[in-house]
Amino acid sequence: MSYQQARWIEPLIFELSKPGRVGSSLPGKPRGSINVPKELLREKLELPELSEPEVVRHYTRLSQMNYGVDSGFYPLGSCTMKYNPKVCEELAALETASCIHPHQAEETVQGALELMYRLERFLAEIAGVARISLQPSAGAHGEFIAMLLTRAYHKSERDGKRDRVIVPDSAHGTNPASAAMAGYEVVTVPSNARGRVDLEALKAAVSERTAALMLTNPNTLGLFENQIIDIAEVIHDAGGLLFYDGANLNGILGKTRPGDMGFDIVHFNLHKTFATPHGGGGPGAGPIGVQKELEKFLPVPVVEYDRKRKRYYFDYNRPHSIGKIKGFYGNFGVLVKAYAYLLLMGAEGLNEVTEAAVLNANYIMHKLLGVKGYELKFDASGPCKHEVVFSTESLKLETGVTARDVAKRLLDHGIHAPTYYFPPIVPEALMIEPTETEPREELDHFVDVLNTIAQEARSNPEKLRSAPTATAIGKLDEAKASREPILSWGTHRKSAKK
């Protein structure tokens, strides 16, 4: 083992606080007076009191106990944790992008509007759709908006009885959740033995009540739904819409387009596919693209260009729109980074992104198939796309070591765990997505480590089960962590009193 994460015994910042210590010098009292309603005034602010270097050291130490794509390999399947070029960050940090205010007059933010206008056209071309809304502020938000668009569409067709949305059993949990939030009944269809949508089950599921099918392609097994044309026909013949979940767009960029496959609504995760840092709750951006017949329902506003006056503007005059779905205009900073990334890569570059991402996943699949204890549960006949789902079921039967144990042991080698126990249709699943930015040595090292872990499972399962030990924080009681979350100083004090 050659990895040891920094481990500081670092108290909470409130515990470091010393009364009277100051880390700032404010330039006197503000001029004039501010009318703050009495009930909002507080006598005492319970803020930690520290000097500037103390604060800097505290957060530097915490950051050293962190792990991200900038510190190592991060093969978290279906999350596309690719490297984010720093130049995109720099561009998004420019004053003209970061210091503009949403209440500024349109004339003064023409550049920002132009950026959104152009980004929208890039995305429409990539997805093969007519029009885009950049407003949704997260992946699941985009899915939800897609469901609202679906409802608006059927309603306008006087087809309001469509109350069912079909979701494959390999889908992300956000799909059924989004459909349910929009008031739909969720009908799950099982996958077939090849890991694709079971067409027979799908045909049995559709009816005059079908509103839409939500599909991820490539699916969460990293397999391309190669019956997509038939699937689209089944759904369209029944009068339903086809929704594309963009979680795995990184597997098809420039090679094929959801619009060409027959999708009516297409969803993006800019924070996955177009290299914006994500995780930890955002910010993200989940734009939605639609075909011509759904365009009029898109949320307000959309950015338009007035040719006569040579000026970009926000268009709110859209009588059929489902309305406003986000404060102001989406997560603009994320849009800037995605736009910068797209300019950086160009059409040729995006093609290469997908080729390298798919090649890397297949490289891992091929090498790992030679390691005893890891196997594929579904179609192993052809290549996978940008990710691959292995099962460690045989290793568990042989040694009692679970996929979770393997995932935790990877941390001891300085590698972030893959997504595990997802999709739920694969027992003891490890969902591996290397992304295009990893060199061959890193992939070789990853497979070597998995091999070492499998051997360790046979020779010293006890030690393996106590992993991780080389990280800042050891094995967690995950159930307790989700049942009794302590997320603030206030709740910490309350729980300590108990």
Binding site for other proteins (CB under 8 A): 78, 164, 169, 172-174, 176-177, 180, 184-190, 198, 200-202, 204-205, 397, 399-400, 419-424, 427, 461-462, 465, 478-479
For other proteins, the closer CB: 103 or 483: 483
CB of residue 394 to other proteins, shortest distance in Å:
12
Q: How far is the C-alpha of 332 from the C-alpha of 112, rounded, in Å?
A: 9
CA distances from 338 to 51, 139, 170 (A): 37, 14, 28
Q: How far is the C-alpha of 489 from the C-alpha of 477, rounded, in Å?
A: 20
Query: Is 212 in contact with 163 (CB distance < 8 Å)?
Result: no
CB of residue 203 to other proteins, shortest distance in Å:
8
For other proteins, the closer CB: 133 or 219: 219
Q: How far is the C-alpha of 85 from the C-alpha of 276, rounded, in Å?
A: 9
Which of helix, strand or coil describes residue 273? helix
Check residue 420 and report its DSSP letter. Answer: E
CB of residue 174 to other proteins, shortest distance in Å:
8
Q: Which two tokens stand for residue 438?
A: 């990893």
Nearest alpha carbon to residue 219 among 274, 171, 165: 171
For other proteins, the closer CB: 57 or 465: 465
With tokens 């126990």, the residue in question is 421
CB of residue 223 to other proteins, shortest distance in Å:
17
Task: Residue count of the chain, please give it.
Answer: 498
For other proteins, the closer CB: 210 or 362: 210
CB of residue 207 to other proteins, shortest distance in Å:
9
For other proteins, the closer CB: 384 or 426: 426
Q: How far is the C-alpha of 314 from the C-alpha of 335, rounded, in Å?
A: 16
CB of residue 97 to other proteins, shortest distance in Å:
33
For other proteins, the closer CB: 173 or 279: 173
Q: Which two tokens stand for residue 227?
A: 């019956």
Q: How far is the C-alpha of 336 from the C-alpha of 274, rounded, in Å?
A: 11
**Where would I find the beta strands (DSSP E) of 406-458?**
419-420, 429-432
Say how many C-beta atoms besides its own lie within 10 A of residue 50's C-beta.
Answer: 19
Max CA pair span of the chain: 76
CA distances from 67 to 64, 75, 85 (A): 8, 13, 17
Q: How far is the C-alpha of 14 from the C-alpha of 498, rounded, in Å?
A: 19
CB of residue 210 to other proteins, shortest distance in Å:
11
For other proteins, the closer CB: 101 or 480: 480
CB of residue 226 to other proteins, shortest distance in Å:
21
DSSP result, 193-249? TTSSB-HHHHHHH--TTEEEEEEESS-TTS---TTHHHHHHHHHHTT-EEEEEGGGG
For other proteins, the closer CB: 353 or 395: 395
Contacts of 371 (CB under 8 A, 6+ apart): 447, 450, 451, 454
For other proteins, the closer CB: 77 or 299: 77
Q: How far is the C-alpha of 327 from the C-alpha of 51, rounded, in Å?
A: 36
For other proteins, the closer CB: 168 or 301: 168
H/E stretch holding 483: helix 478-483
H/E stretch holding 406: helix 403-411
CB of residue 44 to other proteins, shortest distance in Å:
39
For other proteins, the closer CB: 67 or 122: 67
Contacts of 19 (CB under 8 A, 6+ apart): 49
With tokens 């319970």, the residue in question is 46
For other proteins, the closer CB: 133 or 402: 402
For other proteins, the closer CB: 35 or 482: 482
With tokens 């490890």, the residue in question is 430
Sign of torsion, CA 49 53 55 61? negative
